[in-house]
């Protein structure tokens, strides 16, 4: 099948016969449009992106590019827009096989009665590797090149990332509770350090400390997380202010709201990415801004779980860096950054009753450069510009069902879907093309589903749903 992947790349043209005395590079992509995600020059028409040794070495008009460069591989996409590879700022990749396992339930019932019991029943290193590979395939096919993950057995997720050729920031998961991964928080920390050490030197994987949430992590453990994050020079990724119940529980147990508690424990700062941030008071938004924290906005998951709508317009007005995540497929139920980008823009406009809020170009920035900034990777990915890694997706704009178009970026955000992604490159390597993957066999994905679905289905049938 991988041979078919190469054979079907009819758009890839060998250019070894060029007799011109120009600079020879690995890859040139010629496109009708290039959306750079650069504030200074966001949209280019009839441009080439030139790649050598995985790095973008030039971005120039097509005519100039043909005179200046020849390439081992030339890709001509005159009906496409090139965009920076999308970055999923909050997900749990290994929950992909739990898609639809328990729907139409509030968060804590969903967790306590369905998701956590299912995890106790089936989650293992083998499961996490398989389910994460399935998630990588879904993300690559939708133009996502990097994801920020939080789950058990991160080394197993790393194995899936390595096979797929994606880029990932993997959380070193921490919780107080015993599970199939670890016996307690201290065991989580030790296993996390082993995982972090195992991928040192891997250019495609970075780490963050990942304390699950204020309601599953003690003060003492949070303090350790802060210390270790500083020692390892890595970020912190946690859930925060996702539900009103979470806030009430914190006020009852600690006498303060979760954000105030984390501030007192030293977690707030520019290395913190907080997922959700739904129920925030005005002074808490000011606090997040003052500390330079980042928010991973997960609009579909928040709506599906009935958790609420995050005050994104207020965050943006306060200059908080906001990226977008899908959350896990068990609560979304798709790892579809196009759907999230569109929904985020529409929710911001609707809740504020202002159609000018969160315009299309800003929504695109949230899934590219903003997310890269949150992960500390903005010098490496997030825009299409010279010096960056060539993480790029190509989106076909010309399908009859979505034509015509007038503003390419507006069309990308409000009209296109992940099904219009035709090619995905990560670090200059083509990882997905028109339904086929470079390193993932469709048969392998089918076998993964057939292996795990019966076990999860059996668990679902044995777990009664309580009706409210």
For 414-440, how does the pLDDT look when each residue is reduced to its tens digit (9 = 90+)? 999 999 999 999 999 999 999 999 999
Q: Which residues fall within 8 angstroms of residue 34, CB to CB, at 6 or more apart?
A: 43, 44, 47, 49, 59, 81, 82, 384
Q: Which residues of the chain have pLDDT under 70?
A: 1-21, 459-468
Confidence (pLDDT) at 184 = 98
* 0.85 surpassed by pTM: yes
| pLDDT for the residue 91 | 98
pLDDT at residue number 263: 98
The pLDDT tens digits for 232-260 are 999 999 999 999 999 999 999 999 999 99
The full length of the chain comes to 468
The three-class DSSP label of residue 386 is: coil
Beta strands, E only, 20-104: 23-35, 43-52, 55-61, 69-84, 86-91
What the chain holds in terms of domains, given with CATH numbers, is: 2-84+391-437 (2.30.40.10), 86-374 (3.20.20.140)
Reported as a single tens digit per residue, the pLDDT across 84-142 is 999 999 999 999 999 988 888 888 888 888 887 888 888 999 999 999 999 999 999 99
* Distance from C-alpha of 392 to C-alpha of 405, rounded to nearest angstrom: 22
């Amino acid at each position: 099948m991988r041979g078919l992947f190469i054979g079907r790349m009819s758009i890839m043209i060998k250019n070894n016969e060029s007799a011109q005395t120009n600079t020879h590079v690995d890859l040139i992509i010629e496109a009708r449009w290039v959306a750079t995600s650069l504030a200074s020059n966001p949209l280019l028409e009839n441009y080439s992106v030139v790649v050598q040794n995985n790095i973008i070495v030039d971005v120039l008009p097509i005519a100039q590019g043909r005179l200046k460069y020849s390439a081992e591989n030339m890709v001509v996409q005159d009906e496409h827009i090139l965009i920076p590879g999308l970055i999923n700022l909050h997900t749990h990749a290994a929950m992909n096989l739990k898609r639809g396992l328990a729907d139409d339930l509030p968060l804590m019932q969903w967790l306590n009665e369905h998701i956590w019991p299912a995890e106790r029943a089936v989650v293992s290193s083998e499961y996490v590797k398989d389910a994460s590979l399935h998630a990588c395939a879904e993300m690559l096919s939708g133009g996502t090149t990097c994801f920020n993950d939080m789950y058990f057995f991160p080394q197993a997720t790393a194995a899936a990332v390595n096979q797929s050729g994606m880029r990932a920031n993997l959380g070193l998961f921490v919780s107080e509770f015993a599970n199939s991964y670890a016996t307690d928080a201290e065991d989580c920390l030790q296993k996390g350090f082993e995982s972090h050490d195992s991928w040192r030197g891997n250019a495609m994987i970075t780490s963050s400390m990942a304390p699950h949430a204020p309601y599953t992590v003690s003060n003492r453990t949070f303090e350790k997380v802060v210390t270790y994050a500083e020692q390892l020079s890595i970020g912190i990724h946690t859930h925060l202010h996702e539900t009103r119940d979470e806030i009430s529980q914190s006020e009852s147990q600690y006498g303060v709201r979760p954000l105030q508690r984390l501030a007192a424990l030293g977690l707030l700062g520019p290395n913190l990415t907080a997922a959700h941030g739904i129920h925030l008071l005005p002074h808490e938004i000011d606090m997040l801004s003052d500390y330079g924290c980042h928010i991973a906005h997960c609009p579909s998951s928040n709506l599906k779980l009935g958790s609420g709508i995050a005050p994104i317009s207020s965050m943006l007005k306060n200059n908080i860096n906001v990226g977008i995540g899908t959350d896990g497929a068990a609560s979304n139920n798709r790892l579809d950054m196009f759907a999230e980008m569109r929904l985020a823009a529409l929710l911001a406009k609707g809740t504020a009753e202002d159609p000018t809020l969160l315009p299309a170009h800003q929504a695109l920035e949230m899934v590219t450069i903003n997310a890269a900034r949150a992960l500390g990777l903005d010098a490496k990915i997030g825009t299409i510009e010279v010096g960056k890694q060539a993480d790029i997706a190509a989106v076909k704009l010309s399908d009859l069902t979505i034509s015509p178009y007038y503003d390419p970026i507006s069309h990308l955000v409000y009209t296109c879907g992940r099904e219009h992604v035709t090619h995905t490159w990560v670090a200059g390597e083509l990882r997905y093309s028109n339904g086929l993957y470079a390193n993932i066999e469709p048969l392998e994905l089918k076998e993964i589903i057939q292996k795990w679905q019966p076990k999860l289905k059996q668990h679902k049938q044995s777990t009664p749903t309580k009706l409210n």
